[in-house]
Structure 1
Amino acid sequence: MGPMSNERRHRATVKDVATEAGVSRGTVSRVLNGQPYVSSEARAAIEAAIAKVGFVPNRAARSLVMQRTQAIGLIVHEPHSLFIEDPNIGAILLGANAALSEADYQLSFLIADSARDIERLARYLTGGLIDGVIVVSAREGDPITKAIAQLDLPATFVGHPHDIGDAAYVAIDNRGAAREITRRLAATGRQRIGMIAAALDRDSGADRLAGFVDARGNDFDPRLVQRVPLYSYADGQAGMRALLETCPDIDGVFAASDAVAAGAMDVLQAAGKSIPQDVGVVGFDDSSWALRCDPPLSTMRQSANELGRAAAESVLAQLRGEKPSTESRILECTVVWRESA
């Protein structure tokens, strides 16, 4: 047996750290658990001792003592097909993971596609395996929302479904942003402006349609709104085909997401329409889809990464016993104008 096996047999303990630092084990425990009332000198000595003896905290034991799992669930209520296509979901996930990692929490990614998934997740949430949740794409009347409320789990929603009561949320002003970019499109001289309105069963989609209606005012024509289920490329194609059938001389399109806009642009170009000369097109998100389009897509930029980070920080604040701040709930959007309109 060489020295490596001896090291494996002897795992450094709190007692080893205390002996090396010249402090009590209680003082070491307070530092490990993030508790106050430890002098800066003692804290520095303990940190140096941890590095020297190679101490690794037993997080499982610590979780039992603190009654915490150090894990936060991120629940996304979207079809599996959208995960590959929607860059916003990945950006929200990465933003949340970065904030949780800094706080020494683990992210648990939970997908709710079918009714069976929702039942399974509701059971999972009752098992005490996570300390709190971030919920993306919740619909009004969502069973996941009801399960979270019943369990009184610390939770923050990305978006603002109208039935979450006073639960914490982070969001963008979808209505105001949609109104702004529709007006910008109209300012280019377009007269027959339509919308491919997606995901109307959640607040983001419904609010973007409301913003479009606001912007069109007396020029609003309900026949120029085509409703589609998802923020997807395929739905953009389907919506654009329907709009062309209804209004062959359409000269402007607001698509509810960049992926929807990309599908719409392909259908327009296949129909012999030049963009932006014949039809101006704008999207929403400023995701990677926007730069894949030819010409590049004019769109409304939202920071999905910052939404994820803000949601994670909100859950962590709740776990610390803090009431989430209402001041940082709404994040800003900005117009990014390119050659498609």
Structure 2
Amino acid sequence: MPQPRKRATVHDIAAAAGVSRGTVSRVLNGGYVSTEARAAIEAAITEVGYVPNTAARTLKMRRSQAVGFVALEPHSLFLDDPNIGAIMLGANAALSLADHQMVSLVVESARDTERVGRYLSGGFVDGAIVVSARTHDPIIKMISDLRLPAAFVGHPPDLDQNIPYVGIDNVGSARTVTERLLATGRRRVGMIAAALDRDSGIDRLTGFRAALGDRFDADLVADVPHYDYGSGVKGMRLLLERDPTIDGVFAASDAIAAGALEALREAGRSVPREVGIVGFDDSTWAVRTQPQLSTVHQPAKEIGSCAAQLILRQLSGEQITPEGQLLPTPIIWRDSA
């Protein structure tokens, strides 16, 4: 049985380069050496196949060089909601540029919360990006108690004011896209409202209600649990049962809007001739549907990147002001309304 190859050390580099171990250490730690010595050491590193011992470095620095991406959503939503994936990719790109690893942690149950809590408190990550935290979520208290460098995507009302966050103006965006829908002449406009246990869901319903004013009808709000396709189908069927004359719908996400389109096709309703529908996110769902969705553009990758930068700034010792960072959300108007 072949024996595993012995790991090359700093001594091996020094011997191959003909320099002292201290000179090699200065190069590996970013210190100054002569151009000739640096060239010799870099050639020796290639020759001996040296790979830095990150485990030893972690113990010395008391840093893991890892950041947790904590998503408080059902596992199935990762397949249905492109936004979470885009936020994750944006965060990972920013962390990778800073030579940090991202660790994905999905929280779907109380047991998951306990498991992730043990992981966060065990020193396995240097910070945490938290997506979709609910009001009174134990993860918020846990991170606050640990004083772990953190950044939230969105802003639950009970969020510790010392923890920074990045997000969008859900109220204003929902109001604007609903007003644009109303301007097309729709008279009976409903909403498929999702995730009313967190800030994004509540805020989008608030914006919808503000746009309608006196015309708001609580019976034309279908409350569904998640931002997913199946919730859109169920929510649209419920609205049609409550009022078959409904002629406009604001769906709280593009995935929900796609499901609503399916339910409208089942019912023989033409979009946009008989029913106008708008979504939220400008995700891949928006351009995969027929007709394509009018929607609110949510800069998901930029949100993820900004959240990661907030973590990195804290890890560098910078004092972050508690004010949140809100990114712009233009309306993208297509054929569904």
TM-score by length of 1: 0.90
Which residue matches 1:163? Answer: 158
Equivalents in 2 of 1:258, 1:73: separation in Å? Answer: 27
Query: What is the match of residue 38 of structure 1?
Result: 32
Q: Which residue of 1 aligns with 2:75?
A: 80
Indicate the residue corresponding to 1:247 in structure 2.
243
CA distance in 2, matches of 1:154, 1:56: 29
Equivalent residues of 2:279, 2:293 under 8 A apart:
yes
Partner residue of 1:13 out of 2, 5, 9: 9
Q: Does 1:121 align with 2:91?
A: no
> 1:109/1:48 Cα in 2 relative to 1: closer, same or farther (>3 Å)?
same
Supply the distance in 2 between the matched residues of 1:147 and 1:318 (Cα, whole angstroms). 18
Counterpart CA distance in 2 for 1:159 and 1:210 is: 16
Aligned to 2:331: 335
| Aligned CA-pair RMSD | 2.5
After superposition, the Cα gap between the structure-2 partners of 1:318 and 1:335, relative to the gap in structure 1 and judged at 3 Å, is same
Is residue 187 from structure 1 mapped to residue 166 from structure 2 by the alignment? no
Question: Is 1:305 equivalent to 2:301 in the alignment?
Answer: yes
**1:233 pairs with 2:253:** no
Could you say which residue in structure 2 is the equivalent of 1:140? Answer: 135
Q: 2:96 & 2:250 partners in 1: Cα distance?
A: 38
Q: Bigger CA drift: 89-98 or 65-74? A: 89-98
1:259 to 237, 255, 260: 255
CA distance in 2, matches of 1:90, 1:42: 46
Letter in 2 for 1:136: V
Taking a change above 3 Å as real, the CA distance of residues 260 and 51 of structure 1, as seen in their structure-2 partners, is same
Alignment of 1:90 onto 2:97? no
> Matched residue of 2:76: which SS?
helix
Q: How far 1:110 sits from its partner (Å)?
A: 0.7
Q: Secondary structure at the match of 2:209?
A: helix
Any conservation in 2 of the 1:286–1:302 contact (CA below 8 Å)? yes
Structure 1 residue matching 2:249: 3-state secondary structure: strand
Give unpaired runs (5+ residues) of structure 1: none
Q: Aligned equivalents of 2:313 and 2:19: distance in 1? A: 31
Task: Answer yes or no: is 1:283 the counterpart of 2:279.
Answer: yes
CA deviation string 1:69-118 (max 9, x = no partner): 11111111111221221111111111111111111111111111011111
Distance 1:181 1:28, change over 3 A: farther
- Structure 2: state its 5+ residue gaps: none
How has the CA–CA distance of structure 1 residues 40 and 196 changed in structure 2, closer, same or farther, with 3 Å as cutoff? farther
Cα displacement string for residues 283-334 of structure 1 (whole angstroms, at most 9, x for unaligned residues): 0011111122111111111121111111111111111111236788211111
Match for 1:231: what amino acid?
Y
Question: Offset of 1:216 from its aligned partner?
Answer: 1.5
- What TM-score do you get using the length of structure 2 for normalisation? 0.91
Q: Any conservation in 2 of the 1:251–1:278 contact (CA below 8 Å)?
A: yes
**Mapped partners of 1:103, 1:43: distance in 2:** 27
Conserved? CA contact 1:191–1:252, under 8 Å: yes
Give the 3 Å change call, closer, same or farther, for CA 13–129 of structure 1 in structure 2.
same
